[in-house]
Amino acid sequence: MRSDAAGAPGRRASLQEDAEKGAPATEPLGKGEGLVWEEEEGRAALILTFTLRNARKAGLSKTAKVFETFEAGIHHLETRQAKKSKNTADDLEFFVKCEVHNSDVSILINSLKKVAEDVKTIREERVPWFPKKIRDLDKCHHLIAKYEPDLDHDHPGYTDPEYRKRRAFFTDLAFSYREGDPLPRVEYTVQETATWREVYRKLSSLYPTHACKQYLDAFQQLEKCCGYQEDNIPQLQDVSRFLKERTGFQLRPAAGLLSPRDFLASLAFRVFQSTQYIRHSSSPMHSPEPDCCHELLGHVPMLADKEFAQFSQAIGLASLGSSDVEIEKLATLYWFTIEFGLCKQNGALKAYGAGLLSSYGELVYALSNKPEHKPFDPELTAVHPYQDQTFQPVYFVAENFEDATAKLQKYALRIKKPFSLQYDPFTCSIEVLNTLQKVKNTLGQMKEELKNLCFALENIS
């Protein structure tokens, strides 16, 4: 028989049985004080307060046994004398931050009530797991498989065993990749390069008249620095280095169309998950899923623009810890901006969306008089229905990227979250600003940056 963490066989089962005998619901802490943070591997972070009478005697050891039995990892513990106490020396109030398995949360709390008083924690308000360090993106690889050649009967490559075998090779590359690894270099076949050539040649003929200025400037640099040309499919490693130097964005390989939550989370770290496979040769002008033509010709040039990079990261940061409903709205915003967005330049409409800039037919259509053009308003855009099988009947037009970013950030502030986040570019990590000290630290950093700007202005003047 296996002994539990407390050293007595069956103690966990005994505590579970006692805890399940109708203990009252737990009382909530104040707003923002208590949250269950969903963690990987089924564990959750938990905040608890409780009072122990005669803590220095049996109370403390009994309480410790409860935490030990459920293998709770205690991250922070504070004590103070109880406010209402007959024996101030032995009656203590506890504040505990711990990590416990999701399935044990309720049982642990009710077990505490057997040995402590005034046990308080949160209502069942869970924060969806999100990456907090850039290496956590190794876990953000969940695919939407409905468009893949193995499953979609309408996919151009469904009946082509060689193409499906090649796709499996690219899938293995992406799933084997870990943060910090060199980006895999691919030796593309003659047929793959021929498909790229046809797409590249036709689209590049439209760019001078249909693409925005930011795209054209970056595309010219990519041709010069990263091997963008008809007879060469650029390597992610070279392109990622180019982006890193200009906007801090970098690439990592993706196996296909990712779930909106995983994909948007990557943008928060200025990481773009990019496929490396290419569309089937029988359909060079259309792909039912993202491929390297879409990523390299549609997305990459715009990610080299600082204002656009800021806009992209803002959507990613807004997604972290958001509910499924909010994720759907943010994914729709992403669709109508980063994928199919238009902007005004010199009195004319220009394309900046990757879905347009990698599709000859829709690029021509979007800038014609056939579809409806509406001003970009995040509140309206986020709930507007979209098409993923045909051209859009409506496109949203931004005045400029600075204006679009300001509107998006204002929209993000309205997303209901009981916490705030800060991206640290030095450590490529996300800080949850859930304590006064963390807010003070962040404010201190901002003050230092403001001082540097003031000195710069003095030197200029």
Average pLDDT along the chain: 87
**Taking Cα atoms as reference points, which of 310, 175, 153, 329 lies closest to residue 252?**
175
Distance CA 331, CA 432 (A): 23
Q: Is the pLDDT of residue 262 over 60?
A: yes
Q: In the predicted model, what is the mean pLDDT of residues 210-236? A: 96
Q: In the predicted model, what is the mean pLDDT of residues 351-378? A: 95
Contact in structure between 90 and 57 (CB atoms under 8 Å)? yes
**Taking Cα atoms as reference points, which of 289, 277, 251 lies closest to residue 137?**
251
Q: In the predicted model, what is the mean pLDDT of residues 12-31? A: 49
Question: pLDDT class for 216, splitting at 50, 70, 90?
Answer: very high
Most confident of 22-26, 92-96, 118-122: 92-96
> Tens digits of per-residue pLDDT, 140-171?
998 876 566 776 777 888 888 999 999 999 99
pLDDT value at position 24? 43
Q: Which residue has the higher pLDDT, 243 or 411?
A: 243
pLDDT value at position 435? 84
Instruction: Say what the alpha-carbon torsion angle 75, 14, 120, 5 is, to the nearest 10 degrees.
Output: 0
List residues with catalytic annotation: 294, 299, 339, 358
pLDDT value at position 154? 77
* 212-216 LR contacts (CB < 8 Å, sep 24+): 212/343, 212/345, 212/350, 212/351, 212/352, 213/345, 213/350, 214/301, 214/302, 214/305, 214/307, 214/308, 214/352, 214/401, 215/301, 215/302, 215/305, 215/351, 215/352, 215/357
> Tens digits of per-residue pLDDT, 412-425?
888 888 788 999 99
pLDDT value at position 378? 94
Distance CA 35, CA 47 (A): 7
Q: In the predicted model, what is the mean pLDDT of residues 365-381? A: 95
pLDDT value at position 83? 77
Contact in structure between 122 and 47 (CB atoms under 8 Å)? yes
Q: What values do phi and psi take at 273, rounded to 5? A: -85, 115
Q: Look up residue 54 and give its amino acid.
A: N
Q: Which ranges of 251-345 would DSSP assign to H, the alpha helix?
A: 260-268, 292-293, 300-303, 306-319, 324-334
